[in-house]
Structure 1
Amino acid sequence: MKFIPQPPFVLPCTDRRSDTAVLFLHGITEGPDQFRRPAAWANDLGFDAAAAVLPGHGGSAGTFARSGREEWEAFVHSLTDDSRPRSPRLILVGHSMGGLLALRTWTRRPDGIAGIVCVGCPLHVWVSARAVRDLLGVRYGRADASDERLAILHALNVAPGPTPGYVRWLPRLRDLFTLMADVRRELPSVRVPLLAVQGARDELVDARRSLRCFRRRVAPEFLRTLVLPQTTHFLYPPTDATALREAFRAFCRSLQEEHSAPHGDHVSPCC
Protein backbone atom coordinates (compact mmCIF):
# COMPACT_ATOMS: atom_id res chain seq x y z
CA MET A 1 0.00 0.00 0.00
CA LYS A 2 1.34 3.42 -0.96
CA PHE A 3 2.45 5.59 1.96
CA ILE A 4 0.52 8.88 2.23
CA PRO A 5 2.03 11.28 4.78
CA GLN A 6 -0.26 12.78 7.38
CA PRO A 7 0.15 16.56 7.70
CA PRO A 8 -0.53 18.53 10.87
CA PHE A 9 -3.92 20.17 11.11
CA VAL A 10 -5.67 23.02 12.89
CA LEU A 11 -9.40 22.83 13.51
CA PRO A 12 -10.64 26.24 14.68
CA CYS A 13 -13.90 26.33 16.55
CA THR A 14 -16.50 28.22 14.50
CA ASP A 15 -18.14 29.35 17.74
CA ARG A 16 -15.05 29.94 19.85
CA ARG A 17 -16.12 30.38 23.47
CA SER A 18 -12.90 29.84 25.39
CA ASP A 19 -9.37 31.13 25.82
CA THR A 20 -8.30 27.48 26.04
CA ALA A 21 -7.16 25.35 23.11
CA VAL A 22 -6.39 21.64 22.81
CA LEU A 23 -3.08 20.42 21.39
CA PHE A 24 -2.86 16.78 20.31
CA LEU A 25 0.48 14.94 20.34
CA HIS A 26 0.99 11.59 18.63
CA GLY A 27 3.25 8.71 19.59
CA ILE A 28 6.44 7.34 18.10
CA THR A 29 6.10 6.64 14.33
CA GLU A 30 2.49 7.86 14.49
CA GLY A 31 0.61 10.78 12.93
CA PRO A 32 -2.22 13.23 13.66
CA ASP A 33 -5.09 11.68 11.70
CA GLN A 34 -6.11 9.60 14.73
CA PHE A 35 -7.11 12.86 16.43
CA ARG A 36 -9.71 14.02 13.90
CA ARG A 37 -12.67 12.91 16.00
CA PRO A 38 -11.26 14.12 19.35
CA ALA A 39 -10.52 17.49 17.73
CA ALA A 40 -14.20 17.71 16.80
CA TRP A 41 -15.09 16.91 20.42
CA ALA A 42 -12.90 19.85 21.49
CA ASN A 43 -14.63 22.14 18.98
CA ASP A 44 -18.02 21.14 20.40
CA LEU A 45 -16.83 22.47 23.75
CA GLY A 46 -15.81 25.82 22.25
CA PHE A 47 -12.07 25.08 22.00
CA ASP A 48 -9.76 25.47 19.04
CA ALA A 49 -7.87 22.24 18.32
CA ALA A 50 -4.57 21.44 16.65
CA ALA A 51 -2.64 18.24 16.00
CA ALA A 52 1.10 18.32 15.43
CA VAL A 53 3.55 16.18 13.47
CA LEU A 54 6.72 15.55 15.44
CA PRO A 55 10.12 16.00 13.76
CA GLY A 56 11.17 12.94 11.79
CA HIS A 57 7.58 11.85 11.20
CA GLY A 58 5.52 12.17 8.04
CA GLY A 59 8.40 11.05 5.81
CA SER A 60 10.88 8.28 5.18
CA ALA A 61 12.24 5.67 7.56
CA GLY A 62 15.66 7.30 7.20
CA THR A 63 14.34 10.73 8.18
CA PHE A 64 12.75 9.22 11.26
CA ALA A 65 16.04 7.53 12.20
CA ARG A 66 17.78 10.92 12.14
CA SER A 67 15.28 12.55 14.53
CA GLY A 68 15.34 12.12 18.28
CA ARG A 69 14.03 12.86 21.71
CA GLU A 70 15.67 16.27 22.21
CA GLU A 71 14.26 17.47 18.90
CA TRP A 72 10.78 16.14 19.76
CA GLU A 73 10.78 17.85 23.16
CA ALA A 74 12.03 21.17 21.80
CA PHE A 75 9.39 21.07 19.08
CA VAL A 76 6.54 20.60 21.58
CA HIS A 77 7.93 23.41 23.71
CA SER A 78 7.90 25.71 20.69
CA LEU A 79 4.31 24.74 19.88
CA THR A 80 3.12 25.60 23.38
CA ASP A 81 4.99 28.91 23.31
CA ASP A 82 3.63 29.84 19.89
CA SER A 83 0.02 29.09 20.90
CA ARG A 84 -0.11 31.54 23.81
CA PRO A 85 -0.96 34.77 21.94
CA ARG A 86 -4.28 33.27 20.78
CA SER A 87 -4.87 30.67 23.50
CA PRO A 88 -3.23 31.48 26.85
CA ARG A 89 -4.39 28.14 28.27
CA LEU A 90 -3.70 24.73 26.72
CA ILE A 91 -4.95 21.22 27.30
CA LEU A 92 -2.32 18.76 26.09
CA VAL A 93 -3.64 15.43 24.82
CA GLY A 94 -1.09 12.75 24.01
CA HIS A 95 -1.39 9.23 22.70
CA SER A 96 1.36 6.78 23.63
CA MET A 97 4.71 8.65 23.56
CA GLY A 98 2.69 11.84 23.02
CA GLY A 99 1.47 11.46 26.61
CA LEU A 100 5.06 11.25 27.82
CA LEU A 101 5.91 14.40 25.87
CA ALA A 102 2.89 16.19 27.34
CA LEU A 103 3.94 15.33 30.90
CA ARG A 104 7.55 16.21 30.18
CA THR A 105 6.46 19.56 28.74
CA TRP A 106 4.58 20.39 31.92
CA THR A 107 7.64 19.71 34.06
CA ARG A 108 9.72 22.01 31.80
CA ARG A 109 7.21 24.65 30.62
CA PRO A 110 4.19 24.56 32.96
CA ASP A 111 2.93 28.09 32.31
CA GLY A 112 -0.44 28.09 30.60
CA ILE A 113 -0.97 24.31 30.67
CA ALA A 114 -4.44 23.84 32.15
CA GLY A 115 -4.61 20.05 32.02
CA ILE A 116 -3.21 16.88 30.44
CA VAL A 117 -4.90 13.83 28.94
CA CYS A 118 -2.70 10.76 28.44
CA VAL A 119 -4.10 7.88 26.38
CA GLY A 120 -2.16 4.61 26.26
CA CYS A 121 0.79 6.28 27.96
CA PRO A 122 3.72 3.82 28.18
CA LEU A 123 5.03 4.24 31.70
CA HIS A 124 5.70 0.52 31.42
CA VAL A 125 5.66 -1.53 28.24
CA TRP A 126 5.25 -5.10 27.13
CA VAL A 127 5.10 -6.39 23.58
CA SER A 128 2.68 -9.24 22.97
CA ALA A 129 2.88 -11.81 20.20
CA ARG A 130 -0.27 -10.19 18.78
CA ALA A 131 1.56 -6.86 18.53
CA VAL A 132 4.50 -8.40 16.68
CA ARG A 133 2.19 -10.23 14.29
CA ASP A 134 0.08 -7.15 13.53
CA LEU A 135 3.00 -4.73 13.17
CA LEU A 136 4.81 -7.09 10.82
CA GLY A 137 1.60 -7.59 8.88
CA VAL A 138 1.19 -3.85 8.42
CA ARG A 139 4.83 -3.21 7.51
CA TYR A 140 5.06 -6.01 4.99
CA GLY A 141 1.55 -5.83 3.56
CA ARG A 142 0.30 -9.24 4.59
CA ALA A 143 -3.23 -10.06 3.57
CA ASP A 144 -5.20 -10.16 6.82
CA ALA A 145 -6.77 -6.68 6.95
CA SER A 146 -8.23 -7.03 10.45
CA ASP A 147 -9.70 -4.07 12.31
CA GLU A 148 -6.61 -3.90 14.51
CA ARG A 149 -4.22 -3.81 11.53
CA LEU A 150 -6.32 -1.15 9.81
CA ALA A 151 -6.20 0.93 13.01
CA ILE A 152 -2.41 0.58 13.12
CA LEU A 153 -2.15 1.55 9.47
CA HIS A 154 -4.32 4.60 10.10
CA ALA A 155 -2.04 5.69 12.96
CA LEU A 156 1.36 5.19 11.33
CA ASN A 157 3.10 8.18 9.75
CA VAL A 158 6.55 6.91 8.77
CA ALA A 159 7.06 5.28 5.38
CA PRO A 160 8.25 1.66 5.32
CA GLY A 161 11.94 1.26 4.54
CA PRO A 162 14.36 -1.55 3.72
CA THR A 163 14.48 -4.11 6.51
CA PRO A 164 18.21 -3.62 7.33
CA GLY A 165 17.55 0.10 7.76
CA TYR A 166 15.42 -0.54 10.84
CA VAL A 167 18.62 -1.12 12.80
CA ARG A 168 19.02 2.66 12.61
CA TRP A 169 15.79 2.99 14.61
CA LEU A 170 17.36 1.49 17.74
CA PRO A 171 18.52 4.88 19.08
CA ARG A 172 14.94 6.14 18.73
CA LEU A 173 13.73 3.23 20.86
CA ARG A 174 16.41 4.12 23.39
CA ASP A 175 15.05 7.69 23.34
CA LEU A 176 11.58 6.33 24.10
CA PHE A 177 12.75 4.26 27.06
CA THR A 178 14.79 7.16 28.44
CA LEU A 179 11.75 9.39 28.18
CA MET A 180 9.67 6.77 30.01
CA ALA A 181 12.17 6.60 32.86
CA ASP A 182 12.37 10.40 33.16
CA VAL A 183 8.59 10.77 33.26
CA ARG A 184 8.19 8.05 35.89
CA ARG A 185 10.74 9.84 38.05
CA GLU A 186 9.06 13.24 37.59
CA LEU A 187 5.43 12.17 38.10
CA PRO A 188 5.32 13.16 41.80
CA SER A 189 5.92 16.77 40.74
CA VAL A 190 2.77 16.88 38.57
CA ARG A 191 0.43 19.56 39.91
CA VAL A 192 -2.05 19.90 37.08
CA PRO A 193 -5.30 18.02 36.42
CA LEU A 194 -4.46 14.78 34.65
CA LEU A 195 -6.71 12.21 32.99
CA ALA A 196 -4.91 8.91 32.39
CA VAL A 197 -6.68 6.52 30.00
CA GLN A 198 -5.53 2.96 29.39
CA GLY A 199 -6.86 0.18 27.18
CA ALA A 200 -7.17 -3.12 29.01
CA ARG A 201 -6.21 -5.05 25.85
CA ASP A 202 -3.23 -2.85 24.94
CA GLU A 203 -0.65 -5.02 23.23
CA LEU A 204 2.27 -2.58 23.63
CA VAL A 205 1.70 -0.89 27.00
CA ASP A 206 1.48 -2.69 30.32
CA ALA A 207 -1.80 -1.02 31.28
CA ARG A 208 -1.94 -2.33 34.86
CA ARG A 209 1.59 -1.32 35.78
CA SER A 210 1.25 2.03 34.03
CA LEU A 211 -1.99 2.86 35.87
CA ARG A 212 -0.47 1.68 39.15
CA CYS A 213 2.45 4.02 38.53
CA PHE A 214 0.12 6.96 37.90
CA ARG A 215 -1.89 6.21 41.04
CA ARG A 216 1.15 5.79 43.27
CA ARG A 217 3.07 8.82 42.05
CA VAL A 218 0.48 11.48 41.18
CA ALA A 219 -1.39 13.17 44.02
CA PRO A 220 -5.02 11.95 43.99
CA GLU A 221 -6.46 15.48 43.90
CA PHE A 222 -4.95 15.89 40.42
CA LEU A 223 -5.45 12.41 38.94
CA ARG A 224 -8.45 10.81 37.25
CA THR A 225 -8.18 7.45 35.50
CA LEU A 226 -10.25 5.56 32.96
CA VAL A 227 -9.87 1.93 31.84
CA LEU A 228 -11.35 1.00 28.47
CA PRO A 229 -12.04 -2.75 28.67
CA GLN A 230 -11.92 -3.64 24.95
CA THR A 231 -9.40 -1.10 23.71
CA THR A 232 -5.99 -2.01 22.27
CA HIS A 233 -3.17 0.44 21.62
CA PHE A 234 -4.76 1.70 18.41
CA LEU A 235 -8.30 0.30 18.20
CA TYR A 236 -11.25 1.77 20.14
CA PRO A 237 -14.48 -0.25 19.83
CA PRO A 238 -17.65 1.88 19.73
CA THR A 239 -18.62 1.48 23.40
CA ASP A 240 -15.11 2.37 24.57
CA ALA A 241 -14.90 5.29 22.13
CA THR A 242 -18.11 6.68 23.63
CA ALA A 243 -16.73 6.30 27.16
CA LEU A 244 -13.54 8.08 26.12
CA ARG A 245 -15.49 10.93 24.53
CA GLU A 246 -17.63 11.44 27.63
CA ALA A 247 -14.61 11.33 29.97
CA PHE A 248 -12.74 13.80 27.76
CA ARG A 249 -15.71 16.17 27.63
CA ALA A 250 -16.27 16.00 31.39
CA PHE A 251 -12.58 16.59 32.09
CA CYS A 252 -12.42 19.62 29.81
CA ARG A 253 -15.63 21.07 31.20
CA SER A 254 -14.29 20.74 34.74
CA LEU A 255 -11.18 22.69 33.73
CA GLN A 256 -13.36 25.46 32.32
CA GLU A 257 -15.54 25.54 35.45
CA GLU A 258 -12.47 25.77 37.65
CA HIS A 259 -11.06 28.54 35.47
CA SER A 260 -14.35 30.46 35.58
CA ALA A 261 -15.01 30.04 39.30
CA PRO A 262 -14.69 33.18 41.47
CA HIS A 263 -11.34 33.56 43.18
CA GLY A 264 -11.19 31.37 46.24
CA ASP A 265 -13.76 28.87 45.02
CA HIS A 266 -12.55 25.45 44.00
CA VAL A 267 -14.08 23.07 41.52
CA SER A 268 -12.63 19.57 41.62
CA PRO A 269 -11.43 18.37 38.19
CA CYS A 270 -13.33 15.12 38.41
CA CYS A 271 -14.76 13.20 35.47
Structure 2
Amino acid sequence: MPLLPGAEPFHHDGGEIGVLVCHGFTGSPQSVRPWAEYLAERGLTVSLPLLPGHGTRWQDLALTGWQDWYAEVDRALRELSEQCERVFVVGLSMGGALALRLAAKHGDAISGIVLVNPGNKVHGLAAKALPVARHVVRSTKGIVSDIAKGGSQEVGYDRIPLHAAHSLRKFFTLVDAELAQVTQPLLVLHSPEDHVVPPVDSARILGRVSSRDVTEKLLERSYHVATLDHDAELIFEDTYHFIARLAPGVGKEGTAARG
Protein backbone atom coordinates (compact mmCIF):
# COMPACT_ATOMS: atom_id res chain seq x y z
CA MET A 1 0.00 0.00 0.00
CA PRO A 2 1.58 3.35 -1.03
CA LEU A 3 2.22 5.94 1.65
CA LEU A 4 0.27 9.17 1.87
CA PRO A 5 2.34 12.16 0.67
CA GLY A 6 4.49 13.38 3.56
CA ALA A 7 3.98 10.26 5.67
CA GLU A 8 7.48 8.94 5.02
CA PRO A 9 9.72 8.26 8.03
CA PHE A 10 12.68 10.62 8.51
CA HIS A 11 16.25 10.04 9.70
CA HIS A 12 19.23 12.35 9.91
CA ASP A 13 22.74 11.38 10.97
CA GLY A 14 24.14 14.22 13.03
CA GLY A 15 26.24 14.44 16.17
CA GLU A 16 26.46 12.41 19.38
CA ILE A 17 23.14 13.72 20.74
CA GLY A 18 20.12 11.85 19.39
CA VAL A 19 16.42 12.68 19.37
CA LEU A 20 13.58 10.23 18.79
CA VAL A 21 10.44 11.97 17.49
CA CYS A 22 7.05 10.20 17.92
CA HIS A 23 3.92 11.11 15.95
CA GLY A 24 0.33 10.68 17.10
CA PHE A 25 -2.62 8.32 16.65
CA THR A 26 -4.06 8.29 13.09
CA GLY A 27 -1.47 10.93 12.12
CA SER A 28 1.88 10.49 10.41
CA PRO A 29 5.49 11.75 10.47
CA GLN A 30 4.28 14.78 8.47
CA SER A 31 2.70 16.30 11.59
CA VAL A 32 6.03 16.41 13.43
CA ARG A 33 8.50 16.48 10.56
CA PRO A 34 9.19 20.25 10.86
CA TRP A 35 10.09 19.58 14.52
CA ALA A 36 12.46 16.79 13.48
CA GLU A 37 14.00 18.85 10.68
CA TYR A 38 14.58 21.84 12.97
CA LEU A 39 16.61 19.67 15.34
CA ALA A 40 18.44 17.95 12.49
CA GLU A 41 19.46 21.32 11.04
CA ARG A 42 21.15 22.08 14.36
CA GLY A 43 23.44 19.08 14.20
CA LEU A 44 21.44 16.51 16.16
CA THR A 45 20.93 12.92 15.08
CA VAL A 46 17.17 12.54 14.58
CA SER A 47 14.94 9.51 14.07
CA LEU A 48 11.25 9.90 13.17
CA PRO A 49 9.69 6.47 12.50
CA LEU A 50 6.35 5.75 10.84
CA LEU A 51 4.17 3.84 13.31
CA PRO A 52 2.67 0.54 12.04
CA GLY A 53 -0.77 0.93 10.47
CA HIS A 54 -0.28 4.66 9.88
CA GLY A 55 0.39 6.69 6.75
CA THR A 56 -1.59 4.51 4.33
CA ARG A 57 -5.33 3.93 4.98
CA TRP A 58 -7.35 3.61 8.15
CA GLN A 59 -8.18 -0.03 7.43
CA ASP A 60 -4.48 -0.85 7.92
CA LEU A 61 -4.51 0.79 11.35
CA ALA A 62 -7.44 -1.46 12.32
CA LEU A 63 -5.09 -4.45 12.05
CA THR A 64 -2.60 -3.06 14.58
CA GLY A 65 -2.54 -2.25 18.28
CA TRP A 66 -0.49 -0.44 20.90
CA GLN A 67 2.05 -3.28 21.10
CA ASP A 68 2.92 -2.66 17.44
CA TRP A 69 3.24 1.12 17.83
CA TYR A 70 5.32 0.84 20.99
CA ALA A 71 7.58 -1.86 19.51
CA GLU A 72 8.48 0.48 16.64
CA VAL A 73 9.55 3.40 18.85
CA ASP A 74 11.36 1.00 21.18
CA ARG A 75 13.29 -0.35 18.21
CA ALA A 76 14.13 3.17 17.02
CA LEU A 77 15.29 4.14 20.51
CA ARG A 78 17.65 1.17 20.75
CA GLU A 79 19.05 2.02 17.33
CA LEU A 80 19.64 5.64 18.33
CA SER A 81 21.22 4.57 21.63
CA GLU A 82 23.79 2.51 19.74
CA GLN A 83 24.63 5.51 17.57
CA CYS A 84 24.58 8.36 20.11
CA GLU A 85 26.03 9.16 23.53
CA ARG A 86 22.78 10.65 24.82
CA VAL A 87 19.20 10.33 23.59
CA PHE A 88 16.10 12.47 24.11
CA VAL A 89 12.52 11.49 23.20
CA VAL A 90 9.85 13.94 22.05
CA GLY A 91 6.26 13.28 21.06
CA LEU A 92 2.91 14.75 20.02
CA SER A 93 -0.39 13.44 21.43
CA MET A 94 -0.19 9.61 21.55
CA GLY A 95 3.47 10.14 20.64
CA GLY A 96 3.77 11.77 24.05
CA ALA A 97 2.34 8.65 25.70
CA LEU A 98 4.82 6.52 23.77
CA ALA A 99 7.64 8.79 24.99
CA LEU A 100 6.44 8.43 28.59
CA ARG A 101 6.43 4.64 28.41
CA LEU A 102 9.91 4.61 26.89
CA ALA A 103 11.06 6.86 29.73
CA ALA A 104 9.45 4.59 32.34
CA LYS A 105 11.02 1.47 30.86
CA HIS A 106 14.47 2.68 29.81
CA GLY A 107 15.40 4.98 32.71
CA ASP A 108 18.85 6.55 32.39
CA ALA A 109 19.09 5.55 28.72
CA ILE A 110 16.87 8.59 28.05
CA SER A 111 18.24 12.01 29.07
CA GLY A 112 14.96 13.94 28.84
CA ILE A 113 11.51 14.01 27.26
CA VAL A 114 9.42 16.71 25.57
CA LEU A 115 5.64 16.30 25.27
CA VAL A 116 3.26 18.37 23.15
CA ASN A 117 -0.43 17.95 24.01
CA PRO A 118 0.18 14.43 25.33
CA GLY A 119 -2.74 12.01 25.53
CA ASN A 120 -3.50 10.22 28.79
CA LYS A 121 -7.07 9.02 28.44
CA VAL A 122 -9.80 8.35 25.86
CA HIS A 123 -12.56 10.63 27.12
CA GLY A 124 -16.34 10.62 26.86
CA LEU A 125 -19.13 8.10 27.19
CA ALA A 126 -18.17 6.56 23.84
CA ALA A 127 -14.88 5.38 25.35
CA LYS A 128 -16.71 3.07 27.74
CA ALA A 129 -18.64 1.56 24.83
CA LEU A 130 -15.50 0.74 22.81
CA PRO A 131 -15.12 -2.90 24.00
CA VAL A 132 -18.54 -3.74 22.52
CA ALA A 133 -18.97 -1.06 19.83
CA ARG A 134 -15.77 -2.07 18.01
CA HIS A 135 -17.43 -5.38 17.10
CA VAL A 136 -20.45 -3.60 15.60
CA VAL A 137 -19.07 -0.39 14.07
CA ARG A 138 -15.77 -0.44 12.18
CA SER A 139 -14.88 3.24 12.36
CA THR A 140 -15.90 6.72 13.44
CA LYS A 141 -15.11 10.30 12.43
CA GLY A 142 -11.41 11.25 12.40
CA ILE A 143 -9.51 13.70 14.58
CA VAL A 144 -6.77 15.01 12.29
CA SER A 145 -6.06 18.68 11.46
CA ASP A 146 -7.16 20.29 14.73
CA ILE A 147 -5.10 23.36 13.82
CA ALA A 148 -5.86 27.06 14.37
CA LYS A 149 -3.49 28.29 11.63
CA GLY A 150 -5.24 28.80 8.31
CA GLY A 151 -3.94 26.74 5.43
CA SER A 152 -2.12 24.24 7.62
CA GLN A 153 -3.21 20.62 7.19
CA GLU A 154 -2.25 17.37 8.91
CA VAL A 155 -1.69 14.24 6.83
CA GLY A 156 -3.64 11.44 8.48
CA TYR A 157 -6.86 9.46 8.47
CA ASP A 158 -10.36 10.90 8.23
CA ARG A 159 -11.68 7.81 10.03
CA ILE A 160 -10.71 6.17 13.34
CA PRO A 161 -10.91 2.35 13.39
CA LEU A 162 -12.57 1.37 16.66
CA HIS A 163 -10.39 -1.70 17.18
CA ALA A 164 -7.34 0.57 17.22
CA ALA A 165 -9.11 3.12 19.44
CA HIS A 166 -9.86 0.35 21.94
CA SER A 167 -6.18 -0.61 21.95
CA LEU A 168 -5.21 3.05 22.44
CA ARG A 169 -7.51 3.25 25.46
CA LYS A 170 -5.79 0.22 27.01
CA PHE A 171 -2.38 1.73 26.26
CA PHE A 172 -3.25 5.01 27.98
CA THR A 173 -4.34 3.05 31.08
CA LEU A 174 -1.05 1.16 31.04
CA VAL A 175 1.05 4.31 30.68
CA ASP A 176 -0.93 6.11 33.39
CA ALA A 177 -0.04 3.34 35.85
CA GLU A 178 3.66 3.73 34.96
CA LEU A 179 3.95 7.52 35.29
CA ALA A 180 5.59 7.33 38.72
CA GLN A 181 8.50 5.51 37.05
CA VAL A 182 9.23 8.56 34.88
CA THR A 183 12.14 10.42 36.50
CA GLN A 184 13.81 12.19 33.57
CA PRO A 185 13.79 15.96 33.02
CA LEU A 186 10.47 16.84 31.41
CA LEU A 187 9.17 19.67 29.22
CA VAL A 188 5.40 19.73 28.64
CA LEU A 189 3.86 22.16 26.17
CA HIS A 190 0.08 22.11 25.85
CA SER A 191 -2.76 24.09 24.32
CA PRO A 192 -5.54 25.50 26.52
CA GLU A 193 -7.86 25.13 23.51
CA ASP A 194 -7.44 21.59 22.21
CA HIS A 195 -10.37 19.79 20.58
CA VAL A 196 -8.73 16.34 20.70
CA VAL A 197 -6.89 16.07 24.04
CA PRO A 198 -8.15 18.20 26.96
CA PRO A 199 -5.64 20.09 29.18
CA VAL A 200 -6.57 17.79 32.07
CA ASP A 201 -4.41 15.08 30.46
CA SER A 202 -1.27 17.22 30.74
CA ALA A 203 -2.21 18.15 34.30
CA ARG A 204 -2.57 14.50 35.29
CA ILE A 205 0.78 13.60 33.75
CA LEU A 206 2.51 16.51 35.50
CA GLY A 207 0.93 15.47 38.79
CA ARG A 208 1.94 11.81 38.61
CA VAL A 209 5.48 11.68 37.18
CA SER A 210 8.45 11.54 39.56
CA SER A 211 10.56 13.97 37.52
CA ARG A 212 12.02 16.83 39.57
CA ASP A 213 13.21 18.91 36.61
CA VAL A 214 9.84 19.87 35.09
CA THR A 215 8.88 22.77 32.83
CA GLU A 216 5.34 23.52 31.69
CA LYS A 217 4.43 25.99 28.95
CA LEU A 218 1.08 26.96 27.44
CA LEU A 219 0.59 27.16 23.68
CA GLU A 220 -1.94 29.99 23.67
CA ARG A 221 -2.29 30.33 19.88
CA SER A 222 -2.53 26.69 18.86
CA TYR A 223 -4.96 23.79 18.88
CA HIS A 224 -4.01 20.11 19.15
CA VAL A 225 -1.51 19.70 16.31
CA ALA A 226 0.61 22.54 17.67
CA THR A 227 3.68 21.38 15.76
CA LEU A 228 1.96 22.63 12.57
CA ASP A 229 0.28 25.61 14.21
CA HIS A 230 1.09 29.20 15.24
CA ASP A 231 3.30 28.08 18.16
CA ALA A 232 5.39 25.61 16.16
CA GLU A 233 8.55 27.74 16.20
CA LEU A 234 8.20 28.19 19.97
CA ILE A 235 7.99 24.41 20.42
CA PHE A 236 11.05 23.84 18.26
CA GLU A 237 13.13 26.50 20.00
CA ASP A 238 12.13 25.40 23.50
CA THR A 239 12.92 21.78 22.64
CA TYR A 240 16.39 22.71 21.38
CA HIS A 241 17.13 24.88 24.43
CA PHE A 242 15.89 22.10 26.74
CA ILE A 243 18.24 19.61 25.09
CA ALA A 244 21.14 22.09 25.05
CA ARG A 245 20.72 22.75 28.79
CA LEU A 246 20.89 19.05 29.61
CA ALA A 247 23.56 18.19 27.02
CA PRO A 248 25.91 21.20 27.13
CA GLY A 249 27.92 20.02 24.12
CA VAL A 250 24.97 20.73 21.79
CA GLY A 251 25.70 23.56 19.39
CA LYS A 252 29.44 23.47 20.03
CA GLU A 253 32.27 22.12 17.94
CA GLY A 254 32.13 18.35 17.74
CA THR A 255 28.35 18.03 17.50
CA ALA A 256 28.07 19.04 13.87
CA ALA A 257 26.66 16.60 11.35
CA ARG A 258 29.03 13.78 10.46
CA GLY A 259 28.14 13.59 6.81
- TM-score interval, smaller chain: 0.7 to 0.9
Name the residue aligned to 2:169.
177
Name the residue aligned to 1:253.
244
Name the residue aligned to 1:130.
none
Name the residue aligned to 1:131.
none
Structure 2: 5+ residue runs without aligned partners?
125-140, 251-259
Does residue 231 (structure 1) correspond to residue 222 (structure 2)? The answer is yes
Give the letter for the 1:4 counterpart: P
In 1, distance between residues paired with 2:213 and 2:99?
Answer: 15
Which of 223, 231, 234 is matched with 1:243 structurally? 234
Q: Please tell me the root mean square deviation across aligned C-alpha atoms, in Å.
A: 2.9
SS in 2 for 1:213: helix
1:254-269 superposed matches below 5 A: 254-257=245-248
SS in 1 for 2:51: coil
Does residue 95 (structure 1) correspond to residue 92 (structure 2)? The answer is yes
1:57-136 superposed matches below 5 A: 57-124=54-121, 126=123
Residues 70/137 of structure 1: CA separation in 2 closer, same or farther (3 Å cut) = closer
Residues 126/22 of structure 1: CA separation in 2 closer, same or farther (3 Å cut) = same
Q: Are the counterparts in 1 of residues 7 and 155 from structure 2 also a CA contact under 8 Å?
A: no
Residues 78/111 of structure 1: CA separation in 2 closer, same or farther (3 Å cut) = farther
Name the residue aligned to 2:193.
201
Percent identity, please: 26
Q: Are the counterparts in 2 of residues 22 and 47 from structure 1 also a CA contact under 8 Å?
A: yes
Q: Are the counterparts in 1 of residues 149 and 222 from structure 2 also a CA contact under 8 Å?
A: no
Residues 111/74 of structure 1: CA separation in 2 closer, same or farther (3 Å cut) = farther
SS in 2 for 1:91: strand
Shift of 1:148: 5.8
TM-score by length of 1: 0.74
Residues 219/237 of structure 1: CA separation in 2 closer, same or farther (3 Å cut) = same
Shift of 1:225: 1.1
Does residue 155 (structure 1) correspond to residue 155 (structure 2)? The answer is yes
Deviations 1:206-253 (A, max 9, x none): 11x123213321246232111111210125543x23332332122111
Structure 1: 5+ residue runs without aligned partners?
128-134, 140-145, 260-271
Q: Are the counterparts in 1 of residues 27 and 144 from structure 2 also a CA contact under 8 Å?
A: no
SS in 1 for 2:247: helix
1:216-227 superposed matches below 5 A: 216-219=207-210, 221-227=212-218
Residues 181/138 of structure 1: CA separation in 2 closer, same or farther (3 Å cut) = closer
Deviations 1:91-122 (A, max 9, x none): 11111101101111222233521111111101
Relative contact order, higher structure (CA 8 A, sep 6+): 2
Give the letter for the 2:11 counterpart: V
In 2, distance between residues paired with 1:57 and 1:252?
Answer: 28
Residues 256/204 of structure 1: CA separation in 2 closer, same or farther (3 Å cut) = same
In 2, distance between residues paired with 1:84 and 1:237?
Answer: 31
Select the structure that is richer in helix: 1
In 2, distance between residues paired with 1:188 and 1:254?
Answer: 24
In 1, distance between residues paired with 2:169 and 2:58?
Answer: 20
In 2, distance between residues paired with 1:147 and 1:196?
Answer: 20
